[in-house]
């Protein structure tokens, strides 16, 4: 899922642009109800909420609003589906894998529709939805489908009189609270490993972007998953999300979102039934660019990292430390590269930069941009809305950024690249680590000795060397410090969705 496509930013004057995909109309969005026990149901209180296209401000449709009562019903269905003797628990591990492969086939069949709906609901460029989000979703499903019949324990000979065996059993009912920036992909990151291990799931998609998750409900039913194995409850954080975090019959909750909300979820989990928690939270991610690097590669990759998905990524390359001798050249090339970015209609295949998700996020980003100006950072490019009546913000570059500035410390979650200067390797490492976050980092250098030495010193869960946003289903993802708890993806994620049981046998003495 390497997210590195700078050439798509350039308009070609020689080759005619392909026509945009046919838009999805309101009447084409079929799945807007709550999905419980393989049935589409209305909200218990009869409430709905609107979801909007951030590129136009137009309402896409009304979605049924789940609250605590609906979450209770979803949890009851999930608990029943996971009981001993149920169809899901009687199913052999190989058959679970076949269901996940069948679901991947259906996502592949509907990938154009899903990518279009994802673009309409989030504002991200269509080609990114199609080739990053959908491709990553399918690969994640297939990866965990392959794990389904390979999850096993060990036999341990402790002494002559006893033998112990370990079993990896499902945790039980898993709650998944999904963010708005990658709604389909994060759905897969949580649901695929949970199902591979034999758990049941209650998913709450973000209220801003519920539509692709609801479409997945239809595909889960079509694939043949037993009723209650996956339940989807669109709603708001303080109601549906809080009900999941506090629920006494949910055994584990996985959340992707802000650090502040993650702290609330961990507190609720501790105060309820001490449920297991996986948190993938914020980041203020450092990139260290040494003078011996491939400069053009460093410029392109750090900028892709900063502006991808309009900067609305926990992995955003938001602190770029550049060695002093190449600093000015790096800034100049970054400005030239930013000018090639195409801002426009997300459904146009030529567009590489869409709108922010909503007015609240837009206002927060603009406030931080203004703070950068006031605190003395040099605005090199952008820094303004594209128009007065939209949620589009120009890709923005600051240089001369100091570590005490708000734009250097706070997670902006918008298209703002902050460029710093450093003199020594020791200084770069110290400043890179001087953050409460520790999600990802990157190093650009031609020296592998230096790259490995610096990577060992960086306090982040992921270190990229001469690349950025290179995410793969096989590779674990998660953060140090206040960037989270636990890991998603790879074999490591299986441990988050299984309980280890030790069984000890007394052996008969040999005659």
Q: Indicate if 323 belongs to the active site.
A: no
User: Which pLDDT does position 28 carry in this prediction?
Assistant: 67
User: Which pLDDT does position 157 carry in this prediction?
Assistant: 83
Spans of the chain below 50 pLDDT:
1-23
Per-residue CA distances from 78 to 30, 227, 231 (Å) = 24, 8, 7
Q: From the candidates 118, 280, 323, 380, give the one annotated as an active-site residue.
A: 280
Mean pLDDT of the chain: 93
User: Which pLDDT does position 25 carry in this prediction?
Assistant: 54
Residue among 244, 245, 213 at smallest CA distance from 230: 213
Report the Cα–Cα distance between both ends of the chain, in Å, rounded: 60
The string of pLDDT tens digits covering residues 418-441 is 999 999 999 999 999 999 999 999
User: Which pLDDT does position 186 carry in this prediction?
Assistant: 98
Query: What is the dihedral sign for C-alpha 23, 219, 498, 144?
Result: negative
User: Which pLDDT does position 333 carry in this prediction?
Assistant: 98
Domains of the chain: 34-281+487-499 (3.40.605.10), 285-473 (3.40.309.10)
The string of pLDDT tens digits covering residues 292-314 is 999 999 999 999 999 999 999 99
C-alpha to C-alpha distance for 490 and 469, rounded to whole angstroms: 16
User: Which pLDDT does position 27 carry in this prediction?
Assistant: 54
C-alpha to C-alpha distance for 511 and 508, rounded to whole angstroms: 9
The string of pLDDT tens digits covering residues 133-159 is 999 999 999 999 999 999 999 998 888
3-class secondary-structure state, position 50: strand
Residue-wise DSSP of 164-229: EEEEEEE--EEEEE--SSSHHHHHHHHHHHHHHTT-EEEEE--TTS-HHHHHHHHHHHHHTPPTTS
User: Which pLDDT does position 49 carry in this prediction?
Assistant: 97
The string of pLDDT tens digits covering residues 41-54 is 999 999 999 999 99
């Amino acid at each position: 899922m390497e997210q590195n496509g700078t050439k798509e930013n350039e308009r070609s004057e020689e080759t005619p642009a392909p026509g945009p995909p046919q838009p999805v109309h309101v009447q084409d969005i079929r799945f807007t109800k709550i999905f419980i026990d393989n049935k589409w149901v209305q909200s218990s209180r009869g409430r709905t909420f609107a979801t909007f296209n951030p590129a136009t401000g137009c309402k896409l449709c009304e979605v049924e609003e789940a609250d605590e009562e609906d979450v209770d019903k979803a949890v009851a269905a999930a608990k029943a589906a996971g009981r001993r003797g149920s169809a899901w628990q009687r199913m052999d591990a190989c058959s679970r894998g076949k269901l996940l492969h069948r679901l991947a086939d259906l996502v592949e069949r509907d990938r154009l529709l899903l990518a279009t709906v994802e673009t309409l609901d989030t504002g991200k460029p269509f080609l990114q939805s199609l080739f990053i989000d959908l491709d990553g979703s399918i690969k994640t499903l297939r990866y965990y489908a392959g794990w389904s019949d390979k999850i096993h324990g060990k036999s341990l000979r402790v002494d002559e009189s006893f033998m112990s065996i370990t079993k990896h059993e499902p945790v039980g009912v898993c709650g998944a609270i999904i963010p708005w920036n990658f709604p389909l992909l994060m759905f897969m990151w949580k649901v695929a490993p949970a199902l591979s291990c034999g758990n049941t799931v209650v998913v709450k998609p973000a209220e801003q972007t519920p539509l692709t998750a609801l479409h997945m409900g239809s595909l889960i039913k079509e694939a043949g998953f037993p009723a209650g194995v996956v339940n989807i409850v669109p709603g708001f954080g303080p109601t549906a999300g809080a009900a999941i975090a506090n629920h006494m019959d949910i055994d584990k909750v996985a959340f992707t979102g802000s650090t502040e909300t993650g702290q609330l979820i961990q507190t609720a989990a501790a105060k309820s039934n001490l449920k297991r928690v996986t948190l993938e939270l914020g980041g203020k991610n450092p990139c260290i660019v040494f003078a011996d690097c491939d400069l053009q590669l460093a410029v392109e990759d750090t900028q892709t990292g900063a502006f991808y998905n309009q900067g609305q990524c926990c992995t955003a390359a938001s602190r770029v430390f550049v060695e002093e001798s190449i600093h000015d050249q790096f800034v100049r090339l970054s400005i030239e590269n930013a000018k090639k970015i195409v801002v426009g209609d997300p459904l146009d295949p030529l567009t590489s930069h869409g709108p922010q998700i909503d007015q609240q996020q837009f206002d927060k980003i603009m406030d931080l941009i203004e703070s950068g100006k006031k605190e003395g950072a040099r605005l090199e490019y952008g820094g303004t809305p594209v128009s007065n009546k939209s949620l589009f913000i120009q890709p923005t570059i600051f240089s001369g950024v100091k570590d005490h500035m708000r734009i250097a410390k706070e997670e902006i979650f918008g298209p703002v690249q902050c460029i710093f200067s450093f003199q020594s390797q020791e200084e770069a490492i110290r400043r890179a680590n001087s953050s409460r976050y520790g999600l990802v980092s990157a190093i650009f250098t031609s020296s592998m000795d230096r790259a490995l030495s610096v990577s060992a010193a960086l306090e982040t869960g992921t270190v990229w060397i001469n690349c950025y946003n290179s995410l793969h289903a096989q590779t674990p993802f998660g953060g140090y410090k206040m960037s989270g708890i636990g890991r998603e993806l790879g074999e490591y994620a299986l441990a988050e969705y299984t309980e280890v049981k030790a069984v000890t046998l007394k052996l008969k003495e040999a005659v």
